[in-house]
Amino acid sequence: MGHRMRIFGVTAMLVALQTASATDFARARHADTWLRHPVYGDPSFDAFEREPGNPIHRGAAPFEWPVNGFLFHDPISGHHYVYVGDYTQGYGGRPSRCVLYRSTDGAQTWTNLGVVLQGDAALFDKGGHTPDVSVVFEAGRYHMVYDWGELDFNAEGGLAYAWAEKPEGPWQRAPQPITRNTTLPKLLGRYQRTYAATLIRRSHDWLILGMMDAAPNAWALFTMTAPRPEGPWSERRLVRHVESDEFHPPLMEFFPAFTHAGFVYAPATSVALNRNFNALFLAPLEHATEPGAWNIARHGSLWHSEDVEHESYGLWGQTFSGCVEADGTLRAMFNSRDAHGFGTVNLAHRPWLQPLREHGFVLSGHQGPSFTCLRQTFRQFTLNATLHLRGTASVIWDYRGALGPNLPQADATLHPLARTRFQAVQLSPAGWQVIRVDEQGRATTLAAGVSTNHPTWQLNLERSADGRVTLRSEGKELWVSPPDAKSAREEPGAIGLWVEPHTHLSVDEFRIDGKPLSAKINYLGLEALLGAGEKLDDWQEQSGPEFHYGTGLVAKQLQARVKWNVTGRRLTLWSPRGPDFGEAEIRVDGQRATVVNLYAKKLEPTQPVWTSKKLSSQFHGVVWQARTGRLPVDCLQVAD
């Protein structure tokens, strides 16, 4: 009995310690507890550090946008090269070109070698565009695949091949291109334009990993193979795209890729308004043409923007260009834009085997706001946060807003309904205020105080069993709410962070003491259009009480399909029923979950029409597709 009592006592003590201990969600081990999304933003824990000489190049008229590039470490000389895609502002209007930088001292200092590739009126580009390149050394030669386009590259363009005896050139361009976009059959009825290609040597052939788009709604990654770098090249094969039923973050543009230890890695950057979300995809190199071989190595926490003038617009252009060096360093060239909108070319590095910093993350707002929340929440809690802030940010609790884009396309930002239904402490150069935001997005100030442009905030936020909320800063009590019996009984909303445009927030500590519960996160129908690459013109937006948040969509065409790409373990789909609707199928990760009959003699308000069992994994593609009748799209609730 005594022995059993001792075991029980130790167990009870351990349980008590676990209950009492707080969790610091600013530590890397909890990085994936935060919500991240191509439109909403990314609390990034990445470990990249900048080189001291940034930027190595800054745009100037008439080439205002040097916003793409390729980093090449020459295996022969040991020198580093950056091939800069040198565009005019807005990409079009005047021909773009490729400019070359070289470093002979380990990527510390750089020399501009001038233009190495530009259009030729006597060749297929007709004196047009030759901006973005990738380079491989093999068998005594340097091989290049590059973008080309006529002056209106949306009318005609593609990919082409060139070779040289040294990285500086001169580059000998093949007389005919690899692809000519207007002659290519459309894949999935929409993907035709080829661009942004990485050339890669494999054991028995050559691989092109490139981009196609159905802008402004969808982007796809494709492969081609050839026995020699000059061709002949195979037909294109899609390997990542939003039309698949599997999880795939939308609005992602790849280029360039890199290889390491038998794998090909393809970074990708969101083309939403903020361009502050990134992901890293990978596949075994010898199986890279197989769609099923591709996986997501890192969903967010891949990149962050520093609070410097030459990174004012986030990661601009395609994505960073990386190479893993012999000492285990991942070196990266990246592009941004400065405060005046001119492109900048920069360098950074991190240990390949240490992708995340031990603690601390960055959440930035550039041209639009950013939002994140924890996928755990707490009814009673004590939150201690240390924040470094330039601009305006809010610490949010009881968040019950609806997430989605304002439009399902490039340059999207958060939907107005995302900034509803929460309480927050808002911090700004003018001071602090406690606000409550209602379902219409109207903010009521509950308390406020003045500060003198605080760069660092130390906050303590506590909610007690009776619903009372206390705010302290640096040990000083700033505000106490009255008890709130309703809040104390209700299922709590999410806890998160919101940053306004032109804001940089660095979080050193976000420590919460309390009993964790699953946070419920709600996604609008526009999120499902975004996730499937759907055009808004093919849908009728409707407002009314039949939708959960007063707004939804109904397809104009039959057999319509949408997809939510979400993170969580339990899913609940809401939908109205009505005389125009019929049967709709739900598929999760490509597998049929159920078929729902949405027909009713008269319009019926939305209600849950399906709830999943607890799912074993985190990332899911949730397809909602009509079998008969029109498809209504309301919202999807996700819990962890």
Residue 4 pLDDT exceeds 90? no
Residues 56 and 33 grouped into a single domain: no
The DSSP bridge partners found for residue 506 are: 362, 388
Those residues whose C-beta lies under 8 Å from the C-beta of residue 303, and which sit 6 or more positions away, are: 44, 46, 48, 267, 269, 278, 315, 320, 334
The residue from 519, 547, 582 where one domain ends is: 519
Q: Provide the token pair at 384.
A: 């201690």
Q: What pLDDT sits at residue 306? A: 97
- Of 245, 150, 236, the closest CA to residue 190 belongs to 236
Is there a contact between 598 and 584 (Cβ–Cβ < 8 Å)? Answer: yes
Mean pLDDT of the chain: 95
Determine the average pLDDT of the residues in 364-389. Answer: 97
Residues 230 and 326 grouped into a single domain: yes
Provide the number of structural domains found in the chain: 3
Q: What pLDDT sits at residue 11? A: 33
Domain that holds residue 571: 524-639
- Of 425, 437, 508, the closest CA to residue 472 belongs to 425
Q: Kindly report whether the peptide bond that precedes residue 232 is cis, defined as omega within 30 degrees of 0.
A: yes
Pairing, β 632-633 against β 516-518: unpaired
Looking up residue 384, the CATH number of its domain turns out to be 2.60.120.560
Q: What pLDDT sits at residue 465? A: 94
Q: What pLDDT sits at residue 486? A: 82
Residue 343 belongs to a domain: yes
| Percent residues over pLDDT 90 in the chain | 94
Q: What pLDDT sits at residue 92? A: 86
Task: Render pLDDT for 31-63 as a digit per residue (tens, 0 to 9).
Answer: 999 999 999 999 999 999 999 999 999 999 999
Q: What pLDDT sits at residue 451? A: 83
Task: Render pLDDT for 63-77 as a digit per residue (tens, 0 to 9).
Answer: 999 999 999 999 999
Q: Kindly report whether the peptide bond that precedes residue 216 is cis, defined as omega within 30 degrees of 0.
A: yes
Q: From the centroid of its chain, how far is CA 180?
A: 30
The residue from 355, 379, 411 where one domain ends is: 355
Q: What pLDDT sits at residue 7? A: 31
Those residues whose C-beta lies under 8 Å from the C-beta of residue 591, and which sit 6 or more positions away, are: none
The DSSP bridge partners found for residue 410 are: none
Residue 107 pLDDT exceeds 90? yes
Residue 12 belongs to a domain: no
Neighbours of 482 (CB within 10 A): 8
Those residues whose C-beta lies under 8 Å from the C-beta of residue 362, and which sit 6 or more positions away, are: 43, 44, 304, 305, 504, 505, 506, 507
Pairing, β 393-399 against β 494-499: antiparallel
Determine the average pLDDT of the residues in 325-338. Answer: 97
Q: What pLDDT sits at residue 640? A: 85
The DSSP bridge partners found for residue 259 are: 264
Residues 250 and 274 grouped into a single domain: yes
Residue 3 belongs to a domain: no
Quote the CA–CA distance of 544 and 548 in Å, as a whole number: 9
Residues 416 and 304 grouped into a single domain: no
Residue 253 belongs to a domain: yes
Determine the average pLDDT of the residues in 83-95. Answer: 94
SS3 content of the chain, % helix, strand, coil (to 5): 10, 50, 40
Pairing, β 393-399 against β 402-403: unpaired
Q: What angle do CA 73, 103, 147 make, to 5 degrees?
A: 55
Q: What pLDDT sits at residue 21? A: 74
- Of 359, 371, 361, 412, the closest CA to residue 395 belongs to 371
| Percent residues over pLDDT 70 in the chain | 97
Quote the CA–CA distance of 419 and 306 in Å, as a whole number: 25
- Of 240, 178, 234, 231, the closest CA to residue 212 belongs to 240
Task: Render pLDDT for 251-307 as a digit per residue (tens, 0 to 9).
Answer: 999 999 999 999 999 999 999 999 999 999 999 999 999 999 999 999 999 999 999
Q: From the centroid of its chain, how far is CA 257?
A: 17
Task: Render pLDDT for 127-169 as a digit per residue (tens, 0 to 9).
Answer: 999 999 999 999 999 999 999 999 999 899 999 999 999 999 9
Quote the CA–CA distance of 90 and 106 in Å, as a whole number: 33
Residue 9 pLDDT exceeds 50? no
Quote the CA–CA distance of 570 and 519 in Å, as a whole number: 11
Residue 106 belongs to a domain: yes
Q: Provide the token pair at 318.
A: 């395609």
Q: Provide the token pair at 246.
A: 């599997």
Residue 309 pLDDT exceeds 50? yes
Residues 228 and 267 grouped into a single domain: yes
The residue from 487, 519, 551 where one domain ends is: 519
Q: What single letter denotes the amino acid at residue 534?
A: E
Per-residue pLDDT band for 5 (boundaries 50, 70, 90) equals: very low
Task: Render pLDDT for 561-615 as a digit per residue (tens, 0 to 9).
Answer: 999 999 999 999 999 999 999 999 999 999 999 999 999 999 999 999 999 999 9
Residue 4 belongs to a domain: no
Looking up residue 555, the CATH number of its domain turns out to be 2.60.120.260
Residues 137 and 285 grouped into a single domain: yes
For 222, counting Cβ atoms within 10 Å of its Cβ (0-12 exposed, 13-18 middle, 19+ buried), the class is buried
Residues 205 and 62 grouped into a single domain: yes
Pairing, β 520-523 against β 402-403: parallel
Looking up residue 229, the CATH number of its domain turns out to be 2.115.10.20
How many helical (H) and strand (E) elements, i.e. helices and strands, does the chain have? 3, 49
Query: Positive or negative CA dihedral for 191, 192, 195, 198?
Result: positive
Largest pairwise CA distance in the chain: 95
Residues 515 and 528 grouped into a single domain: no
Residues 246 and 349 grouped into a single domain: yes
Residue 13 belongs to a domain: no
Residue 223 belongs to a domain: yes
Per-residue pLDDT band for 10 (boundaries 50, 70, 90) equals: very low
Residues 581 and 464 grouped into a single domain: no
Q: What pLDDT sits at residue 488? A: 76
Which segment of 6-15, 128-137, 236-245, 627-636 scores lowest on mean pLDDT?
6-15
Residues 268 and 133 grouped into a single domain: yes
Q: Kindly report whether the peptide bond that precedes residue 291 is cis, defined as omega within 30 degrees of 0.
A: no
Residues 269 and 382 grouped into a single domain: no
Determine the average pLDDT of the residues in 186-206. Answer: 98
H-type helices in 130-263, by residue range? none
What is the enclosing helix (H) or strand (E) of 485? helix 485-489
